[in-house]
Structure formats: C-alpha cells, structure tokens
A and B are shown apart, each in its own frame.
Chain A
Amino acid sequence: MVKDKNNIIDEVTQGEYKYGFVTDIEMEMAPKGLSEDIIRFISAKKKEPEWLLDFRLKAYRHWLTMKQPGWAHLNIPPIDFQDIIYYAAPKKQQELSSLDEVDPDLLETFNKLGISLEEQKRLSGVAVDAVMDSISVKTTFQDTLEKHGIIFCSFSEAVQNHPELVRKYIGSTVPYTDNYFAALNSAVFSDGSFCYIPKGVRSPMELSTYFRINAANTGQFERTLIIADEGGYVSYMEGCTAPMRDENQLHAAVVEIVTMDDAEVKYSTVQNWYPGDKDGKGGIFNFVTKRGICRGVNAKISWTQVETGSAITWKYPSCILLGDNSVGEFYSVAVTNNYQQADTGSKMIHIGKNTKSTIISKGISAGHSNNSYRGLVKMTTRAENARNFSQCDSLLLGDKCGAHTFPYIECENKSAIVEHEATTSKISEDQLFYCLQRGIDMESAIGLIVNGYAKEVLKQLPMEFAVEAQKLLSISLEGSVG
C-alpha cells in the first residue's frame, strides 16, 4: 500500500552535499609533513616576529610528547601527521585594497557558497572575513568598523599590525599545553580571524568568518581570537564548508574569547564541513578547541552551535567564569547521519561568585551514526551561589544509530546549585502520520519536527544564520525514521 519506509529513509537521508565542489585556483603549498622546518617555513611565509615562532616551536616540541586522546566515544582511524600539507594558500602577491583585486575564481567560490563578498559590501549588515585553506582572503567592512575602534582582521594581519594584543592574549585561554590538537594548532596554525572590541563599544554589525577548505591533502588549522574590553559587545558568526573528497581531511582549530567587566561575546557556529559519503568514506575530522574566559564582573560568553557536518566532531566550547556574576551559555544542536560521529558538549568552570551557566544540548542521530554529549560543570570552592542548568536531549531517527550522554559534575561549594535534565526520544510514527495526513510529505514532516525539536537552540542564532541553519537541518536529516 505504502512505499517501504526503509526505502524512503534511504532515499532522503542521502541528500547530496551541495558544497562539495572544488575551485581550481593557483595554490602555493608547503611540502607534505610536519617538522620544525615546516613550522619555520610557515612562520617565515607569514613574516612573523621571533616570539611567535618561539611559541610555535614550543608548542610543537610539547606536542611531540603528547598522545592523541582516546577518551571520547569516537572511533578515530589513525592519522598520519606526516601525510598532511600544513600550508596551502591561494597565490597572491600584494595586499588587496579592494574586492576588485581578489582572484575572480575565489570570489566565485564564495558566491557559490552563498557568501557573496560583493553582496556583503553593498548590503550593510555583516562584516565577513573569508578564509580559504590557510589564508584569509578578504575582510569586508574594515573601514566602518575602524571608525568605532573595532579591530576585525585576519589573524596574520593582527600579528603584523597589533602584535602587542596578539602576544598578550594568544594562548591565554587555551594554552598550547591544553590538549593534543590545541598543541598541534599552536604549532602550525596558518590564519583565522582576530577581533578586538574596545571599551564601551557595541559592534554596530554582526561579524562573521567563513572558512573554506579547498585544496586536497591539506589540513586547516585556523586560530581565532576575540577580545571584548569593558562593556564591549559583539555577535560573531562562523560558517564552514569543504569539497567532497574520498580521503579524510583534518581540521584542528582553536578559538579563544576573552571578556572583561560587563563585556559580552555571542559566538555562533554553523558547522557544515563535508561529512563523508553515505558509506562513511571521506569527510572532515573536526577536532576543535573553543574556550572563552569571563575575566571581569558581569561578563558574558554565549556559544551557539549547529553541527551538521564533519565525519568526526570532537568539540567542547567552554566557559571559564572567573569574574563574579559572570554568565556562560552553551546552546547546541548536533546532527549525525550515515556514519558520522560526534562527541561534543561543553565545560562550564565556575570560579567567581554568583556565576551562572546554561547548557542546552540537542542531539539528533540518524543512519548508523553515533552522537554523544559530553559535558563538565565544575563549581570551585570560591563559587558561592553559583548556578548551572543543563538540559541534554537526544532524538533518534531509526534504530541503527546511537545517542549517549556523559555529564560530569564536580561541586566543591555547598551553596552552588547544579541541575541536569536529560531526555531521549524518537520521532513517533504518530507524529509523522499526523503530518502526512495533512498533506505534508515525509521529508518536510521530518524537517518540521526536527526544527521544532531544535527550536530552543535555533532561536539563539542571529537571523541571517537561523534561516540557513533550519534549511541545513532538514537537508542533513531528511528521512531516517524507523
């Protein structure tokens, strides 16, 4: 009577990854492999000061003593770090003063991705830093931002033009000793975005970085540093895509955020790296360290992420709540389909008095995928009257996928309150049939239900992103109900 449901599931879960194209651009690349020479090569290419080269080399030497972590609920194939290209950049000779000078193929790439730099320039709204492989291509709206005293540029430019700021804050929140991939990033990072919001300034527009991996056999190791000085505010968005390739590509980024008294940073990510094909071949290994520190009183950091891409995601955007009354938030939707694996969550470290944190995590698993929430809430002895609320929900689509929750709670202060709620549910056949009976087809029905489920998180996203995220959720997941 009705088409076999499993067929429908198979058909719709295998929606094509539409960002999988490759742009043919002349590239400048380092030879494969990792060594002190390669690090010196990268540093020299970027005309870096001695102290930064030192930082890289220390990180590299430390990394050599470390082992890849094995505690996550992930099955990570061995990575040959000598088989990766650590520096790949679209060839360009001189500083670009306007978009007209950007390689037209590059502009076309970003246009295809829906990140039209031209458009961004005309429509006031969002300032974009576009990063292709190892290099920031172009940052828009710099002039407008400068008038407010805001620095928004590529990390490399910041190293040249604001070395004192970079030197002061790099590694201050995520030291290179922090973990294996943070150490690797510190040694070989190539570019990324830098943002400084001066005292009392609210950024007049959303800032955004768009990351694109294009070249084959390369890793992307970007580094982002955002500092909001007293009373400053910025909303920052990050997007990412990559071509479809049969081999896995490594992406190991570090993001550091620092907020001073009364400052606020809202960081939103829509992660759509290539997830691999339906049989689990290819895809990005997304091993990212994101951490913010609320240094001042009443400081606030808010992470919102929509994770739909990558073959493997290992990522725990965290907040250190040092200042009294500071606030940390983490809102996450993580979708896994086919053979994707995700181990993601957050850490909230409460140090100051009256600090507050919220964790809302919505995991959605389909196909043969595995989706884990892993989180730590720590109330230190000084954290008088600190509060945390965590809610971790899992939604299963089909019966071959897995959802797991690993919440860790450490409470050393008697006045602190930690609340944790967790649910696991399935999309019910009754919900689906209800939609079908109203004339809504299976794909749209799942899109509706999943977006409804994730609404609490999606509503945290800036408008420009929310629409994209909603579409992405439907595309990544359509079908897969059993």
Chain B
Amino acid sequence: MLLDIKDLHVAIKGKEIIHGLSLQIAEGEVHAIMGPNGTGKSTLAMAIAGKEGYDVTKGDIIYKGRSLLEILPEERAREGIFLGFQYPVEIPGVSLTNFMRTAINETREYKGLPPMPPAEFLKKMEEKKKLVEIHSKLANRSVNEGFSGGEKKKNEIFQMAMLEPSLAVLDETDSGLDIDALKIVANGVNMLKTPQNATIVITHYQRLLDYIIPDYVHVLFEGRIVKSGGKELAMKLEEKGYEWIRND
C-alpha cells in the first residue's frame, strides 16, 4: 500500500472541514476524487502535502508505511509526494530552470546523492519540456510570472515530470484549461504513469476523466467520501449532477 488514509479529520482554524475520511491507494493506481465546491477536496490535498494551518485533529495518513503527520512538507516532497497546485503562485525573479535545479538538488542531497551534473539536468529539462509541449522560453522566465492559465497548469505537470514523484496529487488541474491544453496535460499525466507510482486526480468535472482514465472514482461530499466506484461513477455523476448525491 502506497497511501493509507485512516479516519482523517482536518480542521482549518478550528473549523473541521474533513470529518473522517479513509482511502487506500496502491502503486500503479489512478484515483479520481470528485465533488462539488467546498466539500474539502483541496483541503485533503493540502493535508497530504502538509501545508501549515491544515490541522489533522484525528486519524492518520500513512505513506510508504510511515505516518506523515510528523514530517515537514519539504521532506514529504523529497519522499516523493507531489502536489499539482490549483493556483500555482508566481515567484518573481526566480527562473524556472533555477527553481527546478534547486528542487532536484535539494532532494538529491536529502537522499545522499551529489548534485545532478548540469549537462544531465539540462538534457532532462529538454526531454520533459517536450512531454508537456512547454515553450523553451518559459524555462528562462520567472516561475509562473506572466504565464497564462494553461501555461501555469502545464508547468505543474512539467515539474511533476522533472521530480518523478511516487504519489502525485493533482488539484483541479483541469480548471481554466481549453480542450487542447487539457489534452496535453492529460497526455503528460498518462505518459508519466508507471506500475510504481500513483495519482490522485481532484476534479470538479468529469471532462478530464475522458482523457485520464481512473481506476477508482470517489465522491467527496461535506467532508466525507460518500460513494466509491469505477469510472462509470463519474459518468453517472456527469449525467445526474451532484444533486443526485445530495438527494441520495
């Protein structure tokens, strides 16, 4: 088991948002988490990544056999947890190249490896840029600064490709994308799939799941998983809308 979430309760500023969520994810699986706005999807993503202010008040998150609760966010990242942000921030003056080199080399240092040789790093950058059809010039610009909505999301997948995580949590990666960008992003995610890693796709719409085929779909509603099933669940949701869950 790669990730085992047990009866998770998460509160923000004392207000509980997630009320006892359990979820198991094995290597090689793709899980989709769907649900209306404000039901705790992003809160779950932040709690896995360890953002300050998202307090786990009960339950546990076990990743690779180890509780994440006492582990700093940067260490979680170095252990292979990647969060694709819904709203990637701009970091003025820091080039994407410099940012990625720092990220990769700090992770390597944590693992007792020497810094990646510059030639190897640049080769990797080139390879991965092609994967998500990122324009070469973007790599020299500041991280996300002046990027279009689509470029920002592609950039998230690009970083995921560079960092090769064991567990990727993609938070509303489809929001704000036109159909072409959506295909590129989905294609990137599919190409990065291996029998060893797993992906959690958080989405409001079924649309993305036409391109990233999930093994499991979970419906999150008012802080709990209320339904789980195969990809047909997503279809049903699309057809009947979230009202169906509410009335059920």
Q: Which residues of A contact B (CB under 8 A)?
A: 1-3, 5, 428-431, 433-442, 444, 448-449, 451-456
Q: Is the CB of B159 within 8 A of A1?
A: no
Q: Is the CB of B93 within 8 A of A1?
A: no
Categorize the interface residue count of chain B: 20 to 34
Chain B contacts for A456, CB-based, 8 A: 93
Q: Which of B74, B89, B94 contacts A442 (CB 8 A)?
A: B74
A455 and B94 alpha carbons, distance in the complex (Å)? 8
Chain A contacts for B51, CB-based, 8 A: 433
Q: Which of B55, B70, B93, B110 contacts A439 (CB 8 A)?
A: B110
Distance to closest chain B CB from A306 (angstroms):
15
Q: Is the CB of A1 within 8 A of B91?
A: no
A141 and B139 alpha carbons, distance in the complex (Å)? 41
Name 15 interchain pairs, CB-CB below 8 A, sorted by A.
A2-B50, A2-B72, A2-B73, A431-B89, A433-B49, A437-B73, A437-B74, A437-B82, A437-B83, A438-B77, A439-B77, A439-B78, A439-B106, A441-B106, A456-B93
A454-B93 in contact given A1-B55, A440-B74 (Cβ < 8 Å): yes
A434-B85 in contact given A439-B77, A452-B93, A455-B93 (Cβ < 8 Å): yes
Chain B contacts for A449, CB-based, 8 A: 91, 94
Q: Which of A431, A433, A453, A454 contacts B52 (CB 8 A)?
A: A433
- How many A-B pairs have beta carbons closer than 8 Å: the answer is 82
Q: Which residues of B contact A (CB under 8 A)?
A: 49-52, 55-56, 69-70, 72-74, 77-78, 82-83, 85, 87-89, 91-94, 98-99, 102-104, 106-107, 110, 142, 159, 163
A431-B106 in contact given A437-B73, A438-B99 (Cβ < 8 Å): no
Q: Is the CB of B52 within 8 A of A429?
A: yes
A444 and B102 alpha carbons, distance in the complex (Å)? 8
Enumerate the 4 nearest inter-chain pairs by beta-carbon distance, A residue then B residue, closest first: A452-B93, A452-B94, A455-B93, A439-B77
Q: Is the CB of A438 within 8 A of B110?
A: no
A448-B102 in contact given A439-B77, A440-B74 (Cβ < 8 Å): yes
Q: Is the CB of A436 within 8 A of B74?
A: yes
Q: Is the CB of B91 within 8 A of A431?
A: yes
Q: Which residue of B lies closest to A442 (CB)?
A: B74
Q: Which of A437, A440, A455 contacts B106 (CB 8 A)?
A: A440
Distance to closest chain B CB from A44 (angstroms):
52
A439-B103 in contact given A1-B70, A453-B93 (Cβ < 8 Å): yes
Q: Which residue of A lies closest to B47 (CB)?
A: A1
Q: Is the CB of B52 within 8 A of A434?
A: no
Q: Which residue of B lies closest to A452 (CB)?
A: B93
Distance to closest chain A CB from B82 (angstroms):
8
Chain A contacts for B98, CB-based, 8 A: 448
Q: Which of B69, B74, B94, B163 contacts A1 (CB 8 A)?
A: B69
A439 and B163 alpha carbons, distance in the complex (Å)? 9
Chain A contacts for B89, CB-based, 8 A: 428, 430-431, 434
Chain B contacts for A451, CB-based, 8 A: 93-94
A316 and B72 alpha carbons, distance in the complex (Å)? 43
Distance to closest chain A CB from B22 (angstroms):
19
A5-B103 in contact given A448-B91, A448-B98 (Cβ < 8 Å): no
